[in-house]
Structure formats: structure tokens, C-alpha cells
Structure 1
Amino acid sequence: MTTLRYPPKPSPGDRVAVLSPSAGLPELFPRPYELGLERLRTEYGLEPVEYPTTRKMGATPQQRADDIHAAFADPSVKAVVSSIGGADQITVLPLLDRELIRANPKPFFGYSDNTNLLAYLWNAGIVGYHGGSVMCELGRPIAMHPLTAESLRAALFTSGPYELRPTDRFGDVNGPWEDPATFESEPASEPAGGWTWHRPDRIVEGRSWGGNIEILSWLLMADREIARDPAVHEGHVLFLETSEDMPKADDVFWILRSMGERGLLRRFPALLMGRAKAWSFEHPNDADAKARYTREQREAVLRAVDQYAPDMMVVFDVDLGHTDPQIVIPYGGTVRVDGPARRITVTY
């Protein structure tokens, strides 16, 4: 693997590309998208630049790859931000020009299906940023969550250490974007309960790797953007999260088991596990069902860890994925997990 490097950061006033490398959902749901663009301008001082497929549903993989190339090759564009995720970005990866992207490194912000592009950048030697989509985080009704806004600002504009902190309250219940009433009040929240530590007996500092566990499983099956030699991950910090598709606990275990059989899990001395999203429109769980889903997922993770990485330190309920607030995690950047002090610091 090429040595990882942090790309240059944008400054207020710069142009940033807004792309839809997965689904062109801004075409179907313009309200959260336009709100996110406005916040990029007014709250961050950045000028969003759209591309042919940004608001286009059904764009071909080649068309989306062309937009990625155009954004990275344009010297006036200083960062690239995803509009949202999707489900088929894996089909875009073979069409990308790795040398073009490597020669024009830029901060890329995205998560969920954008785990594909983050892993691709990791293999190109470029640190990416897991989080910060336009429609979800920037387009949050009424206002961005303060922790999300602070983390995104630090990741966009600064290059030093940033200490994560647990949120007091979180939310994973969303209103329908097609209903104007969704944007008349902030999303509901509930007490968070802090992080849960497993084997916090050491300090681990290393480069990060991971992302959405469902997308990683697809990359593993396709044998794409996954290191052939698991030893390249030795000493790294693994971070994982699950999506609104809400995979069953057994599925989470089976994915981790496959990573264990590949020799991957034991390479990571620490795991940051994102807070499970335990509600979706398809599964509108009540409080008891949400607690059960979260507990079963945690048990599945620990079962795999105990079997394949018995010395791994694990921190659960870190707000790094599909819940609100969301903390941006540098993908390939330095992460320090201090078990005895119960502290997590990332370097943006």
C-alpha cells in the first residue's frame, strides 16, 4: 500500500464539488439537498459546484466516474462532498483512474455506500473522511446538530488532533423527506448513555480503516479494494457501523467471522463500533425493540471478537455512522484510543 497522506484542506471561500457517486437522490428530494447546499455556503463559507449526475437518478457508473474524475482534476475545486449514499457504488470503482486521483488528492467526505470510494482512496494513499453528507447531516431539519457541525468544521478546515466526546442525546428516527412538516421541527432525540468500553486496558494509536460493515462485506465478496495481505492492517484502528437497512445480528457476526477467517480481525488492536441505527421506515421499532436490536448486535460483535481477536479493545456507541449526531472519522488518518483514560482522539 502507498504511504497515506492527508490532502490539502479547503479554506472558506473555496469551491467544493458536490457529487452523487451512488444515488442521485437530490433529484427526488430537493428540499434537504438545497438546505444542505445553503449551509455549505452560509455556515462554512464554501461554494458548492454541481456536476451532471449530482441531481440525476439512474446515472450510469461511467457517468458517475466521469464526474469524480472531473471534480478531482479541477484545480479550482478544493474538496469533494457526497450528496448521499446508495447501493451500487461498487460498480463505479473499476472505471476510476487511480493515477489521476492520486495526482490530485482532495478531501472526500461521505459514508454508507461511499465506503467504496473511501476504501479506494485509502488504497491510493489518500486520507478520506467518513461522514458529512449534504442531504443528511448538512440538510438536517431546522439546524445541524452542534456536535456534527463542530466535527465537520474541524475535519474540513483543520489538520490537528480532535478529541471525540460522547453525546448526551442521540436520534435515529427520521421524518419523510417528501413531507414538508418534517422540516418544521428538529428530529426527536433520546438519552444516549455514553460509550461502552470492552477491555480498556491499553492505549492504541494507528491509522484507521473500516466504514459501513455491509459495504465492506460486498467489497470482500468482490475481492475489491481489500488488501490481499492482511498484515498491512497490523496495528490499525478498525471502525465499523451499520445502516438503516438494519442487518440482523447473525449477519453482522457472519461478516465479522469472514473477516476473521481472512486473517483481518486479529490485525486490529482496537475497534470503534458505531451506535447501531435501530429504527427505519421499514422497521419502526419501539423503545424495547430498539434496545433489543442494539443489544443483540453488540453481542454478535463481541462473539466474533472473542473468537478471532481476543485481545481487541472495543468501544461501542461511538456516533460515527447513520445516527444523529455524527462525528467525522478520518479514513486512513491517525486515531488514538486511550482505554485507561476513556478518551478517543482523531487527527484531521
Structure 2
Amino acid sequence: MTTISYPPKASPGDRIAVISAGAGLPELFPRPFELGLERLREDYDLIPVEYPTTRKMGTTPRERAADIHAAFADPDIKAVIASIGGDDQITVLPYLDRELIRANPKPFFGMSDNTNLLVYLRNTGIVGFHGATVMCELGRPGAMNPQTADSLRAALFTSGEYELRPADRWNDVNRDWADPATFEAEPETRPGSGWTWVNADRVIEGRTWGGCLEIVGWLLMADREVSHDLSEYDGAVLILETSEDMPSATEVFWTLRNMGERGLLHRFSALLMGRAKTWSFERPNSPEGAARYGSEQREAVLRAMRDYAPDTTIVFDVDFGHTDPQLVIPYGGLVRVDGPARRITVTY
């Protein structure tokens, strides 16, 4: 069983590494990236430090691994944050030096394709933080979402418990980063629907595992960073969410079914399912289509869980992942799921 611990926290005035371990999209879309850097400086009093691949598309996995090593090895860097996600971070993992990173534990913030690095850190014994990339959350047009901003501040600078709360309003419709008008106002939001609880008759506490469902599926297919000793996951809290690629309900079921066939699903004490992203530039759903997509995904998850882990406590539409606001979840850290009280508390 891997021993997992929280790395030392950053403090205002510290230097924070900004890396592109997935895609170097700051090169293509500098506006949200620069806005995110400005907020790190002005709102969080942190000094962002960039690396050779941070603003460069088409870099090699070895080059990105070198930047990760540089960020973790530098004693003046107190935390690391991803610029954005991508789709090939899994190819970086073989080039990482686990002993170097283990000897220099630091908080890492990222999500989506950064699930790869989060699970790698967990297996190295370091708690990471699922959420808050520079371009998406810090670079949000108009202003950061207050819930995102507060959650990120607590995760960056504090070590205590933090209660997650359902969003009063939320959004998953994006605007074009290439259009300057995008940054003139905050995104439009719609009323929140709260969380939906299943088997909410117990209090559970466990360490998290999971992340972006598509990336989890890739890791399982590549047999990479997934323990062959499945007791590693006994009692853990599974966190899953889906990306702007918007996998069909059938694909979501297949991935979960195959996790069940591997013997994984029933090991987890609870499942926190992030609010589904129901809109993308490729699939600009109407409100009715978006609601249908979310409902079909929920039914697919329930079908798989009924088949393989029928007694698991499930919470749907938790506000983390690819929707806005984005609450930060400690990856490998502790989460308490209080079914009777309908409360979720994380330990940062």
C-alpha cells in the first residue's frame, strides 16, 4: 500500500511553476494565459515562472518531462500548476524520474489530461490537486468564479478541512478565445440543480483516485500507473468527470463496465461524479439536448454501478472538472462524504 502525504504548502510571495505537460496552448491563445498569470500575481500574490515548453506547441514528451523535473527540483519553486490539459500527457510519464520528484514533493494543480500526472504523483506518495488550470479557471473572462477562486486559495495556502458546496449558478458553454470580445464580460450562467445522492445512508472517508474518465480509460488500456494490487483502492473515493470530447453514454458505460470487470468498481466506498459538460464547439447542444445528454450519462453510470457496485454511495453533479465553477479536489488526499447530512468535506 502506497504511503501518501501532503506536500508543504505555498505562501503568498512564493514562486509557482507554470508548465504545459500536455498541450502548449498558451502559444496559440495568449490572452487567457496572460490573464491567468496576472491573477496569480495580483489575486494570489504568487510569482509565476515559465519553462521552455510552457508556450510552445509540438514539444516532445522528453522536453516536457525535463520541465517537470526542473520545476520540482528547484527549491525556490513552492507549487506547480498546469497551463491547460491536452491529449498526450500519457507519453510523458515514461520519462519522469520518480525518485527526483519523490525527493522534492510540491503541490501540483491540474485536471483533464493532467490526470496522468496526478495519478503518477499519487503513486509516488504525493497528494496532488485536481483543478484550476491557468488558462481555463484563472483565465476565465471577466473574473474568476468566486467558488473556484475561494477553493483554489484554500487548496494553495491552507491545510485544513474545506466544505464543498453545490453551485448556485453554473456554466459549460465556452466562447472563442480568439475573439477579443470574449473577454469583455463574464460567461452567462444558469441556475444550479444541486447534487443528487444515491445510497446516502452512511458517512465515508477515503483517499481519492480517478479524474477525467477518458484519461482513466487510457491509463487502464496502457496498463500504466494502475496498481495490479487492487487492494490499493479498497475504501478509496472514486472521482470521475468527462471532458469537452463529450463521450456518449454508451462509451461511459463501457469504460465503467470494464473497470468493473477488472475488479475495480466495488473496491471504492463512494463515487463523486462531476457535473457533465454538455456543450462543445463541435456539439453545441440546445438546452434540451444538454439536459438529455446529462441524463443519459447519469443513467449509464447508474447502470454500471448497479451491475458491479450496487451499494456504493454516489453523488452526481459535483462541481469539479470541465464545468464552471470548478472546485479543487485533493488527489490522493482525504475526502469525507456524509450521506445523511448531504455534505462533502475535503482536506487540503
User: Distance in 1 between the 2:24 and 2:42 partners?
Assistant: 24
Tell me which residue corresponds to 2:36.
Answer: 36
Match of 1:294 in 2: 294
Alignment partner of 1:219 is 2:216: no
1:323 corresponding residue in structure 2: 323
Q: d(CA) in 1 for partners of 2:230 and 2:197?
A: 25
Q: Which amino acid aligns with 2:138?
A: L
1:146-165 pair list within 5 angstroms: 146-165=146-165
Whole-angstrom CA distance in 2 between matches of 1:91 and 1:208: 23
Shift of 1:192: 1.2
**2:261 corresponds to 1:261:** yes
Deviation per CA, 1:113-135: give whole Å up to 9, x if none: 00000000010000000001000
What letter matches 2:167 in structure 1?
A: T
SS at match of 1:38: helix
What's 2:92 paired with?
A: 92
Q: Provide, for residues 38-80 of structure 1, a one-character-per-residue CA deviation record: whole Å limited to 9, x for no partner.
A: 0000000000000000000000000000000000000000000
AA at the equivalent of 2:249: A
Amino acid at match of 2:298: R
Distance apart, 1:294 and its partner CA: 0.2
SS in 2 for 1:337: strand
Question: Aligned partners of 1:166, 1:334: CA distance in 2, in Å?
Answer: 19
SS of residue matched to 2:278: coil
Deviation at 1:231, TM superposition (A): 1.1
The CA deviation at 1:100 is 0.2
Distance across 2 between alignment mates of 1:264 and 1:131: 24
Matched letter for residue 267 of structure 1: R
In structure 2, what is the equivalent of residue 241 of structure 1?
241
In structure 1, the partner of 2:280 is 280
Residue 317 of structure 1 aligns to a residue in which SS? strand
2:181 alignment partner, SS class? helix
SS state of the match for residue 2, structure 2? Answer: coil
Q: What is the one-letter code of the residue matched to 1:64?
A: R
2:200 is aligned with what amino acid?
P
Counterparts of 1:46-195 in structure 2, within 5 Å, are 46-195=46-195
Question: 1:32 corresponds to which letter in structure 2?
Answer: P
TM-score, normalising length from structure 2?
Answer: 1.00
- In the alignment, what sits opposite 2:16? 16
What is the letter of the counterpart of residue 232 of structure 1? Answer: E
Q: Is the 8 A contact 2:2 2:232 kept in 1?
A: no
Deviation at 1:169, TM superposition (A): 0.7
State the alpha-carbon separation in 2 of the partners of residues 188 and 162 from structure 1: 27
Partner Cα distance (2:287, 2:250) in 1: 21
SS of 1:64's equivalent in the other structure is helix
Quote the offset at 1:2 in angstroms: 2.6
Cα deviation per residue 1:85-131 (whole Å; 9 max; x = unaligned)?
00000000000000000000000000000000000001000000000
Distance in 1, matches of 2:251 and 2:231, equals 25
Letter in 1 for 2:66: D
Match of 2:313 in 1: 313
- Which deviations, in whole Å up to 9, do the C-alpha atoms of 1:188-228 show, x marking residues without a partner? 11111100001101011011111000000000000000011
Q: Find runs of 4+ consecutive structure 1 residues off by over 6 angstroms.
A: none
Residue in 2 that maps onto 1:25: 25
CA contact (8 A) 2:253 2:301 kept: yes
Preserved CA contact (<8 Å) 2:201 2:339: yes
Percent of pairs with identical residues: 74
SS at match of 1:100: helix
Q: 2: CA distance between counterparts of 1:167 and 1:207?
A: 23
Preserved contact between residue 118 and residue 128 of structure 2 (Cα < 8 Å): yes
Distance 1:43 1:210 in 2: 30
CA RMSD, aligned part only? 0.5
Q: What SS class does the counterpart of residue 72 from structure 1 fall into?
A: helix
* Whole-angstrom CA distance in 2 between matches of 1:230 and 1:249: 26
Post-superposition CA distance 1:279-299 (Å, at most 9, x none): 000000001000000000000
| Cα displacement (A) at 1:165 | 0.5
TM-score (norm 1): 1.00
* Equivalent in the alignment of 2:198: 198
In 2, Cα distance between equivalents of 1:331 and 1:8: 15
Alignment-mate amino acid for residue 179 of structure 2: D
Number of positions where the alignment pairs a residue of Structure 1 with one of Structure 2 = 348
